[in-house]
Amino acid sequence: MNIEEYITTLTEQIRYKKARQEVAQEVRNHILDQTQAYEQGGIAHEKAVEMAVLEMGNPVEAGVALDKIHRPQFDWRLFAITVLFSAAGVFIMYVTGALGSEYSQLARQCGFAALGIAIIVLICFVDYTFIGKYPLQLYILMTVVFFIYQQTGRQVNGLRGPALRSLVYLYVPVYAGLLYKYRGKGIRKLIIPFAFILLTALLSQSLGASLYIGLGIGAICTFLLLYAILKGWYQIGEKRITAPALVAAIFASVVLLFAIYILCFAADYQKLRLIAFLQPEAYRDANYQVSATLRAINGAQIFGESTEGTLIKDFVQQENFLIFAQVVAMYGLIAGAAVIIAFGTLTYYALHIVRRQKNQLGMILSAACFLLVLFNCTTGILMNFGFMPMGSLQFPFLSRGGAGTVMYAVVIGLLMSCCRNNVRHTVV
């Protein structure tokens, strides 16, 4: 049996097709190295090849062993965390009154949670590499679908297409695909992803009807670009400009452009919110939600209801991010700490998946999902404690309605797909 026949027989036993080429190359290199060693000992080439192949053992048995190593792994731990947190999230929203008093709303949210779990499983078994192959097409398709939905969707509290406030966050993983596709040397390769940061921020702000969402998504995309630069994806050819210097320049440019946008194009009420946050004493009437939330949290007990717990009960059905404050107000600081630990567990596990990635697309895509979860969890907690102006956001598993559930289901599904399709290196 020659080398190619041996490798063909061996790789036919490996069901995970993405791993076959890598395994074949490693086995071929090992046989050639051993052949060279035999030849240096005075053995003829053909005989040396035959001996090197025989030394590898039975190709079917070796292939079956390698199939077990390279079999795609379903991340049962993350899936279990997702199911547990989904159930806990529905329970928390029900007991805090975020779902209202009608049983039908509870049943509806349970249905959304079940749909989210189904979406996670479905996306987990999809090869995520299509995002790196067709990111521009996906970006355009998403924008068209979002625009049509905005124009034709139902109107709630004066906002048409309210689900877009959650769904526009799906621009983030698609932007990761754009970074992967347009990586390379030269200033042109850097201008394209930079321009998409600004475009994505503007589209997200317009479609989601929220300055916070636009700036938040723009910030996440900026950090993704900076991460890619530090990984050596973009070089402008000027040796005097180091990666850290380039990162600092891009970060400063984006901050400046966002500040100009707020000053020149933000609506008056959006500017007023920022001013009211910076000058709370002068704008008490504009800060009624902030004041009520802070009073409820400041009056919280270690266990049990806050002395000011009734203050935000009317708000929690209007704003998803206030569900956390309601948990603290109704059940105490220990309950709030448990929610923070749950968010921290999810974020840490997402980071763990990023660090395990061996290919560049899996790395940047999982990083996008990690940053999205980290950003919303962190800023949401800061808002509840009064360290940030209040804005529209979706906590993982504490988002009333279907849009937020679907968005996070896609994000977690992509994380699981990256983990499942992560090809392991083989030592033969």
Residue 308: CB atoms within 10 A of its CB come to 17
pLDDT at 157: 60
Q: What is the pLDDT of residues 323-350, one digit of tens each?
A: 888 888 888 889 889 999 999 999 999 9
Residue 92: CB atoms within 10 A of its CB come to 24
Pairing state between β 234-235 and 155-156: unpaired
Q: What is the pLDDT of residues 109-134, one digit of tens each?
A: 999 999 999 999 999 988 888 999 99
Q: How confident is the model at residue 425 (pLDDT cuts 50, 70, 90)?
A: very low
Give the 3-state secondary structure of residue 160.
Answer: strand
Pairing state between β 184-185 and 234-235: parallel
Q: What is the pLDDT of residues 262-293, one digit of tens each?
A: 777 677 766 766 666 666 665 555 556 667 77
CA distance 95 to 88: 11
Q: What is the pLDDT of residues 19-35, one digit of tens each?
A: 777 788 888 888 888 88
CA distance 85 to 339: 10
Q: Phi/psi of residue 50, each to 5°?
A: -60, -40
Q: Kindly list the distances between the CA atom of residue 4 and the CA atoms of 26, 38, 39, 228, in Å, as whole numbers in the listed order.
A: 13, 19, 19, 38
CA distance 138 to 206: 19
Residue for token pair 């105490």: 332
User: What's the CA dihedral at 241, 247, 248, 250 to 10 degrees?
Assistant: 100
Nearest of 328, 329, 331, 283 to residue 303 by alpha carbon = 331
Q: Note the pTM of the prediction, 2 decimals.
A: 0.79
Nearest of 338, 337, 368 to residue 351 by alpha carbon = 368
CA distance 158 to 167: 18
